Amino acid sequence: MRTITVEELKARLDAGEKLHLVDVREPSENEAFNIGGKLLPLGQIRNMQIEEIESLKDKEVICYCRSGNRSGQACQILDSIGFTNTWNLTGGMLEWQDKFNK
């Protein structure tokens, strides 16, 4: 697992890069605000219900949550089952909103 800042991620999104974003928050959090990631709550990842992203094992996967904690856990789990290029968004959506949604 590596880390990426909100500034780095926003720059890549603004540049039009095709990224594999995974939102590990709960559905209500995703509905309230999201940056376009595939919703896959941490509980599903813990239960190995990851069929939706199985094809991304060898691709860059950027996980995000509210603050960076749950997404860090998600990256660790994904790494342990063979994902090779996971990234955790440090600061999560709290920092994203603080920096870019004023």
Assess contact for 24 and 8: CB atoms under 8 A.
no
Q: What residues act catalytically? A: 65
Q: How far apart are CA 19 and CA 12, in angstroms?
A: 8
Q: What residue spans define the domains of the chain?
A: 2-100
Residue 63, beta-bridge partner list: 22, 88
Assess contact for 18 and 59: CB atoms under 8 A.
no
Q: What is the pLDDT of residues 43-78, one digit of tens each?
A: 999 999 999 999 999 999 999 999 999 999 999 999
Helix (H) or strand (E) run with residue 62 in it: strand 61-64
pTM of the model: 0.96
Work out whether the CA dihedral 3, 42, 93, 54 comes out positive or negative: positive
Supply the mean pLDDT for the chain: 97
Q: CB neighbours (10 Å) of residue 74? A: 28
Residue 39, beta-bridge partner list: 23
2-100: CATH, from 3.40.50.1000, 3.40.1210.10, 3.30.465.10, 3.40.250.10: 3.40.250.10
Quote the pLDDT of residue 12. 98
